[in-house]
Amino acid sequence: MNGQVSTFNVRCYTDRNNPPRDINYDRPNDQRKVTVWIGLMGNNTIYGPVFFDQTVNGQRYLDMINDDVIPQLNQRFHQQQNGVFPRLWWAQDGAPAHRSREVHDRLQQLFPNRVIGIGHAQEWPARSPDLTPLDFFVWGYIKARVY
Question: Does residue 27 belong to any structural domain of this protein?
Answer: no
3-class DSSP assignment, residue 115: strand
Closest CA to 46 of 116, 128, 139, 111: 139
Mean pLDDT calculated for residue range 121-142: 69
Question: Does residue 9 belong to any structural domain of this protein?
Answer: no
pLDDT above 90: residue 35: no
pLDDT at 8: 59
Question: Does residue 12 belong to any structural domain of this protein?
Answer: no
Q: Quick one: pLDDT band at residue 21, thresholds 50, 70, 90?
A: low
Residue 117 CB partners (closer than 8 Å, separation 6+): 90, 91, 92, 93, 94, 98, 99, 107, 123, 124
Cα Rg for the chain, rounded, in angstroms?
17
Looking at every residue in the chain, the average pLDDT score rounds to: 77
Closest CA to 118 of 93, 100, 142, 139: 93
pLDDT at 3: 60
Which residue blocks in the chain are alpha helix, DSSP H? Answer: 58-64, 70-76, 101-110, 133, 139-146
Question: Does residue 13 belong to any structural domain of this protein?
Answer: no
Structural domain including 84 reads 35-146
Give the total number of structural domains in the chain.
1
Q: Quick one: pLDDT band at residue 140, thresholds 50, 70, 90?
A: confident
Q: What global pTM score does this model have?
A: 0.70
| 78-128 pLDDT per residue, tens | 666 567 888 888 888 778 898 899 999 999 999 988 998 888 888 876 666
pLDDT above 80: residue 52: yes
Question: Does residue 45 belong to any structural domain of this protein?
Answer: yes
Closest CA to 133 of 49, 45, 24, 48: 45
Mean pLDDT calculated for residue range 128-146: 68
Question: Does residue 16 belong to any structural domain of this protein?
Answer: no
Question: Does residue 40 belong to any structural domain of this protein?
Answer: yes
